[in-house]
Structure 1
């Protein structure tokens, strides 16, 4: 496989995935914020809360449509750009995607129409239930997608069948309850809730700065402050759980994001700052916080955390074992009844993927020399500087958002919604959670390299036999299409915000102090 084809296939999927994920988290968060807002309307029967809910539902709808449109092209890419990947692991990977379409997507797609057009046709409680089902469907969609992605990170419940030369499901329950998938799901949806809360907070702050729709803005800000504080705190807690799962399932990813070349003895410290160097395989000017990494990665202060050099040595052993597994598979292809080859394969089957990594350099892994094996072992190390800085920018942004929401919560509790310096800060903070969220996906996907499926299928083997010209054509086409969609999306959102809430549903009275008050 031409390396340029693999790199361009990865680039195309990265561009479409990161673009799609601009819309998904906002949809996840807004859906449940709508449930909260409408629940207040149902309980209080105050028309202003109906106005609040309908306004944010309009922005949810714009974002929902773009999320669906950009998500469809991603699934087509599995067949077009990653055909061998789809063939090799399609039995496992395809099942959660099918369930997502049948169970979750149709649930939200069925009820989203009722949510938008049923305001005057359904009872208050009935409409709230419909809104709740839309939120459940939206989050179920994320669940099944992350079950599929979690399996790529930690391929449990499946095994290679030498008779079909494919991976097959052995325990679908293990696939669903994969600890990596579950940790990714709760962490991802919490990040989505945080994004939605920042968005609502920022738009509400903009209205208050302009002195427009004050009643809607104050109420929206109050919901966003409480919802955002809970969500941002949960992102940190659940991110800690994701770090713990890496210790058991993706130790190289953990070592790379810490730029930890040597094994860190207990109590392991977390690198607060450093400059990783690939040239001399060392981290310069490193500043560590004692104990923290040990607590995150091992839940203890008396266990070491494996470093890159140790993990590369382990990879060498697994590659050598994978060569034996590959030889056994070739023997079984020639004679499926070869019991000795079957026994040898069963003994080394877990390392077959490591043997396949050698195909990057030799057509037959059994012909690899020690130098090639050593070189291939170092291929298991992802891009350390990218991992190191992506994690720190993401984590630092998360801490800033906690401070933002804590401040917002205090201000709305004290009824000081219109504190000008905070309103300016809230508007400026709108892009921050998206930056953190995108970096989170960079961390997850770059950290899995060089694997399409961790320890099972190297990325370079999963790509389709396309030409460089074909890939550049589709990349340019997607870039132009998605650029146009971005203009449409931003234009529609800004137009909706500029138009403001449904003003005809608001009636204003003037308080004795001369300030507008919503009846």
Structure 2
């Protein structure tokens, strides 16, 4: 039997490192293209304030990028240390985009970051702008290849199981990289990162205006962030809608959990705006619904039903039973690989092989699984409803709040009234955590919603771990918590120090602390 404690600890460790890493990723993505916009304004207008903006926000970008790299490297090592069977089973497919990311995107990004910081006095204005563009492209290409790998975990296309090697093997590389899941996940993730970068600049600029500091610098930064943020907010919502459509089509259990849809409602299904899911009794209490909306958004039609949790459990029970047959047939085929009849029989049931593997959580021999074990494994195919239900709604709520903040900010900034709208400046500043909360909740919905699979319908999580001791994983988990906590303190200290100093650290003589020092001398 597989140690449930070991699996849970390994999951906690990877969840901790990945969610900590994603504190830095969206800000890196967002600031990278905002720097392009700011420097383009400098090249076109020749105004020094835009150059100062690029240098100042670029400094914050650099600190954030360094921590993102440090935390991202440990994640990839965990596939070999904590998830060795996962790496063995799907490494031929999953490893390819990660290798390309390291060889192409990361080196591109790192090279041009160096040129960005040290090339101001050595490169022409237009040449330095090209450097900044390539730096931003490198950041986004890194995200692209990582998200392609993650999208394959959600929708394992372009591969098939080889019974001779007992591994998943790639059949079409272009199917993997051009997967609709990869496109939707990349678009939605980077646009959410752009929102994060925009809100970061907006909030800090608002703080400067509230303090009456560096007003010209802050007003221009605020205006760029508001315009950029409003545009990408619209794209984020649209691409989130596209992701939801794919979930409804390819991962019905995740969608049912997000909506706490216990029963299969007549098409088009209503959307539950608010309610209190009761998982024990499989009912949502005090629910507020909008008729038809769920069906229209999730299926793009008026007549396509969306299966509820109870029907999905029943369907998955049958797939688990077929999976038992698939495992028995596979065992026989391994002993007699030239038997054509066994091959044909396995081809008929191999799509349910992963469902049979779910029983390995409860018994070493799935062929002897009891009805109770099969029933429990079928229940496992539905992720936790309360976590999914509330995570999704909190994420959407944060997104709507950010959209409104960007819209009001752009309007009053364009009217040159923003300094007098202190309520909006305060709202912008206190909204600073919202994009990070939305991003982390988005990953919660995506990854927790894939449970109990590490590769959707292919490989269960409880079969993916390494053969480590509970003590070793516990020790490394504690080590990561202590190390990452220390790194976070250092990063926050550096960022706060730079923000408090503001553009005065550029040494141009045009900003708050420099002017105060000059006044004191006079």
- Separation of aligned partners in 2, 1:179 and 1:296: 17
* 1:212 shift after superposition: 1.3
TM superposition outliers: structure 1 runs of 4+ over 4 Å: 506-509
Distance 1:226 1:466 in 2: 50
SS at match of 1:300: coil
Instruction: Choose from 489, 495, 498 the match for 1:496.
Output: 498
1:250 corresponds in structure 2 to 251
Deviation at 1:503, TM superposition (A): 4.9
- Give the number of aligned pairs: 509
Contact 2:56 2:506 in 1 (8 A): no
Q: Report the counterpart of residue 396 of structure 2 in structure 1.
A: 395
State the alpha-carbon separation in 1 of the partners of residues 373 and 492 from structure 2. 50
Alignment of 1:428-443 (within 5 A): 428-443=430-445
Question: 1:466 aligned to 2:468?
Answer: yes
TM-score, length-scaled by structure 2: 0.96
How far did residue 506 of structure 1 move? 5.6
Partner of residue 105, structure 1:
106
SS in 2 for 1:261: coil
- Residue number in structure 1 paired with 2:515: none
Q: Which shifted more, 406-415 or 282-291?
A: 282-291
The 3-state SS of whatever aligns with 1:505 is: coil
Q: Deviations over 1:20-55 (max 9, x none)?
A: 000000000000000000000000111111001000
Task: Give how far 1:505 is off.
Answer: 2.9
* 2:486 matched residue in structure 1: 484
Q: Does 1:67 align with 2:51?
A: no
Q: Is the 8 A contact 1:52 1:220 kept in 2?
A: yes
Where 2:507 maps in the other structure, the secondary structure is helix
Please say which of residues 362-371 and 438-447 is displaced more in the overlay: 362-371
Q: Structure 1 residues 426 and 186, CA, compared in 2 at 3 Å: closer, same or farther?
A: same
SS at match of 2:437: helix
Q: TM-score, with normalisation over the residues of structure 1?
A: 0.96
CA distance in 2, matches of 1:402, 1:67: 26
Whole-Å separation in 2 of the counterparts to 1:484 and 1:322: 46
Matches within 5 A, 1:499-510: 499-501=501-503, 502-505=505-508, 507=510
Deviation larger for 409-418 or 34-43: 409-418
Report deviation, 1:371.
Answer: 2.8
Contact 1:51–1:506 under 8 Å retained in 2: no
Give, in whole Å, the separation in 2 of the partners of 1:495 and 1:147.
Answer: 36
Whole-angstrom CA distance in 1 between matches of 2:150 and 2:426: 38
Name the CA distance, whole Å, in 1 between partners of 2:506 and 2:236.
Answer: 36
**Matched residue SS, 2:418:** coil
CA distance in structure 2 between the partners assigned to 1:86 and 1:422 by the alignment: 49
User: Is the 1:30–1:196 contact (alpha carbons within 8 Å) kept by the matching residues of 2?
Assistant: yes
Query: 1:145 aligns to what?
Result: 146
- The 2-side partners of 1:349 and 1:80 are apart by 29
Separation of aligned partners in 2, 1:503 and 1:422: 28
SS in structure 2 of the partner of residue 500 of structure 1:
helix
User: Please, which moves more after superposition, 301-310 or 44-53?
Assistant: 301-310
Output aligned runs, 1:316-331, within 5 Å: 316-331=317-332
Q: State the match for 1:7 in structure 2.
A: 8
Q: How does 1:27-176 map to 2 (within 5 A)?
A: 27-176=28-177
Q: Is the 8 A contact 2:249 2:299 kept in 1?
A: no
Residue in structure 2 matched with residue 513 of structure 1 by the alignment: none
SS of residue paired to 1:337: coil
1:201-225 per-residue CA deviation (whole Å, 9 max, x = no partner) reads 0000111111112121111000000
- C-alpha distance in structure 1 between counterparts of 2:165 and 2:190, whole Å: 37
Query: What does residue range 9-28 of structure 1 map to in structure 2 within 5 Å?
Result: 9-28=10-29
3-state SS, counterpart of residue 121 of structure 1: coil
Q: 1:103 deviation in Å?
A: 1.1
Specify the alignment match of 2:408 in structure 1: 407
2 CA distance for matches of 1:472 and 1:504? 48
List per-residue Cα deviations over 1:44-102 (Å, max 9, x = no partner).
Answer: 11111100100000000000000000000000100110000000000010001001111
Aligned partners of 2:248 and 2:299 also within 8 Å? yes
For the pair 1:186 / 2:173, whether they are aligned, the reply is no
1:217-228 to 2 correspondences below 5 Å: 217-228=218-229
Equivalent in the alignment of 1:237: 238
C-alpha RMSD over aligned residues: 1.2
- Confirm or deny: 8 A CA contact 1:191 1:235 kept in the other structure: yes
Residues in 1 aligned to 2:333 and 2:131: alpha-carbon distance in whole angstroms: 55
> For the residues of structure 2 that align with 1:396 and 1:291, how far apart are their CA atoms?
21
**Cα distance between partner residues in 2 of 1:59 and 1:508:** 17
Aligned to 2:200: 199
CA distance in 2, matches of 1:358, 1:322: 9
Q: Deviations over 1:133-153 (max 9, x none)?
A: 010010011111110000000
Work out the CA distance in 2 between the residues paired with 1:355 and 1:241: 31
Contact 1:331 1:338 in 2 (8 A): no
Deviations 1:468-504 (CA, angstroms, capped at 9, x unpaired):
2111111110001000000110011011112211453
Moved more, 199-208 or 177-186: 177-186
